[in-house]
Amino acid sequence: MNSIGVLTSGGDAPGMNAAVRAVVRKALFHGIKVYGIERGYAGLINNEIKEMSLGSVGDIIQRGGTVLKTARSLEFKTYEGRLRAFQNLKNHGIEGLVVIGGDGSFQGALKLYEEFGVKVVGIPATIDNDIYGTDYSIGFDTTVNTVVDAINKIRDTAFSHERTFIVEVMGRNAGFIALEAGIAGGAESIIIPEIPYSIEEICQKLIKSHQRGKLHSIIIIAEGAGSGIKLGEVIKEKTGFETRVTILGHIQRGGSPSAFDRILASRMGAMAVDALREGISQGVMVAFEKGEYVLKPLETAFSGKKQIDLEYYRLADILSI
């Protein structure tokens, strides 16, 4: 293999730059040209393709976001759009493609392989950590740390003013951020999309805590489980406690990646290049499973729904008493 391309697609995640850096430097080490494709599949269709050098990825391992930028592309969902993308790959002599993103990005990569025979390797990168088949995705660890830092600051104010604070975090269909950050931040209640909750039980828990002298509380809610603002209104109405809501929003996406995410991204990026070099990239993804880096068929990402560890959730409930 003489040349490969790399793109970032979907929502940005801290550590994407570390993955791009690893792909570029590992490939160049083996004498393989690397082309960076800007703005994901939209850029691939629009021929936003440039050759990358060692210097082009210097000083980016610590940066959040993605230097290649990212965008969503409705045109790529059409066969005509994918054909244009393939032709641009062919015109640049790109023989293999590394796609850094979530399951939607992987679906696009799989289409390129199935329809045009493009050798593709997916690297899971999403702060939601909801890609089936891998224990961790790039960006998740950093996001959890960002949320925990916010919880720590909010708890200072909650204690000082003796109030209940609701912190709404990202997680449209998955509660991994809320669960991990809730445990690490000592939240009194954690509300996630995967598990039904009772507002009555939450209110009773707050009242019991108040009766034993704990006059402040933190509740974490994933956006997919409901509105933090509406929850706050109901809790105040049912308990009479002063309640405030903080919606963390896109602050969770940015920031310098954690050491874990940098190492995860670097290892995954290097492994993706090796897969292309060794010719085993017939539509595969790099996964981190039980402490090991492994290759799996891209279809794995769509073959099931990643489940919350119920024992983990029960532990969070016990520790919050």
CB 113 within 8 A of CB 298: yes
Whole-number percent of the chain with pLDDT over 90: 85
Question: Residue positions in the annotated binding site for ADP?
Answer: 21-25, 155, 186-188, 212, 214-216
Whether pLDDT at 151 is above 70: yes
What confidence tens digit (pLDDT) does each residue in 101-136 have? Answer: 998 999 999 999 999 999 999 999 999 999 999 999
What is the dihedral angle through the alpha carbons of 214, 319, 185, 169, rounded to the nearest 10 degrees? -100
On the question of a common fold for 3-139+257-302 and 143-253, the answer reads yes
What confidence tens digit (pLDDT) does each residue in 38-84 have? Answer: 999 999 999 999 999 999 999 999 999 999 999 989 999 999 999 99
Question: Residue positions in the annotated binding site for Mg(2+)?
Answer: 103
Identify the CATH class of 3-139+257-302.
alpha beta
Is 12 an annotated catalytic residue? no
What confidence tens digit (pLDDT) does each residue in 226-242 have? Answer: 999 999 999 999 999 88
Instruction: State the Cα–Cα distance between residues 98 and 5, nearest whole angstrom.
Output: 6
Rounded to a whole number, what is the largest CA-CA distance in the chain? Answer: 71
Question: Residue positions in the annotated binding site?
Answer: 11, 21-25, 72-73, 102-105, 126-128, 155, 163, 170-172, 186-188, 212, 214-216, 223, 244, 250-253
What pLDDT, on a 0 to 100 scale, did the predictor assign at position 57?
Answer: 96
Q: Where are the domains of the chain?
A: 3-139+257-302, 143-253
Catalytic residue among 128, 130, 141, 261: 128
Q: State mean pLDDT over 281-286.
A: 87
Angle between the 176-184 and 140-161 helix axes, to the nearest 10 degrees? 50
Whether pLDDT at 281 is above 70: no
319 pLDDT tier (thresholds 50, 70, 90):
confident
Closest by Cα among 129, 78, 70 to 105: 70
Identify the CATH class of 143-253.
alpha beta
What is the pTM (predicted TM-score) of this model?
Answer: 0.94
Question: Residue positions in the annotated binding site for substrate?
Answer: 126-128, 163, 170-172, 223, 244, 250-253
Q: In sequence order, what DSSP letters do the residues of 33-84 get, joined into one string? A: EEEEETTHHHHHHTT-EEE--TGGGTT-TT--S-TT-----SGGGSHHHHHH
Question: Residue positions in the annotated binding site for ATP?
Answer: 11, 72-73, 102-105
Whether pLDDT at 295 is above 70: yes
Token duo for residue 120: 């593709």
Q: State mean pLDDT over 196-221.
A: 90
Instruction: State the Cα–Cα distance between residues 94 and 312, nearest whole angstrom.
Output: 44
